[in-house]
Amino acid sequence: MILLALLAGCTSLGEAPETKTLRLCFGSDGEAPTEWESQSWEVSGEVAALQTLAADENYEELNIYSCWETPELLMTVLDEDGVSWTLGMGQGERELPELDLAVGARVDLHLSGVFSFGQTAGATIEDAQGLVFAADLGNWGRALDDQVSEGLRVSDGERTLTVEGDCGTQDWGQIDFQGDGDALSLETGERGTFELAGETLQALNAGSFVYTQATCTDVAGLESWMVWR
């Protein structure tokens, strides 16, 4: 789903780095939004179920934003109005890290879906300790704001590599994760750790580039990332 003129500050033309595919999907047993309408939802409730899925395992497709491929983890949250919400998550070839979640925990979800010519999604999970998980597919623009949560800012970093792709010139670069101290700057495919509100979080730049010159129509860059505790 997120597979994919030199500018000052970029290196010479080279090979595109390997991206790390993220998967996000979500839905509820309430009313689904109108197609092609961008929306966000704030959900507070209790984790009712955590289900790990095999790559070929069947599951009921979620009704707001589709994963397109089987997610690795489905988390179901029952909100204060009795509505059931499900968030599906996955990374690479069944490489989703173990998340600090448990059935019965109280959590706050922020779910964001961008439904335009292309579709993308983002999500955050927070509990009483702070941020548990955040991710933005970033394949048709950003679904989450730069200010992801209290104390955490995620933004474009330095552009370091120029690549001639099938559809034009791409400038690849870093994503900056700003927590308590200096920003953590990661190239595509890199992982690292940073501090947020006294907790150590991990971050992944799953892929980041912009088109500086496009030769195809209906293409977009990429700013895909994940943070977890």
Q: How far apart are the first and last CA of the chain?
A: 25
Q: Domains of the chain: which residue ranges? A: 22-228
Q: What values do phi and psi take at 137, rounded to 5?
A: -65, -40
- State residue 166's pLDDT score: 87
Going by the DSSP 8-state scheme, the letter that residue 18 receives in this structure is P
Residue ranges in the chain whose pLDDT is less than 50: 1-11
- State residue 35's pLDDT score: 58
Amino acid symbol at 95: E
Going by the DSSP 8-state scheme, the letter that residue 34 receives in this structure is P
Beta partners for 41? 111
Amino acid symbol at 15: E
- State residue 68's pLDDT score: 81
- State residue 34's pLDDT score: 58
0.75 exceeded by the pTM? yes
Hey, what's the torsion of the CAs at 177, 149, 196, 204, to 10 degrees?
-40
Q: How far is CA 206 from CA 140, 193, 225, in A?
A: 14, 15, 5
Please check whether residue 62 is in contact with residue 113, taking contact to mean a CB–CB distance below 8 angstroms: no
Q: How many CB atoms lie within 10 A of CB 224?
A: 27
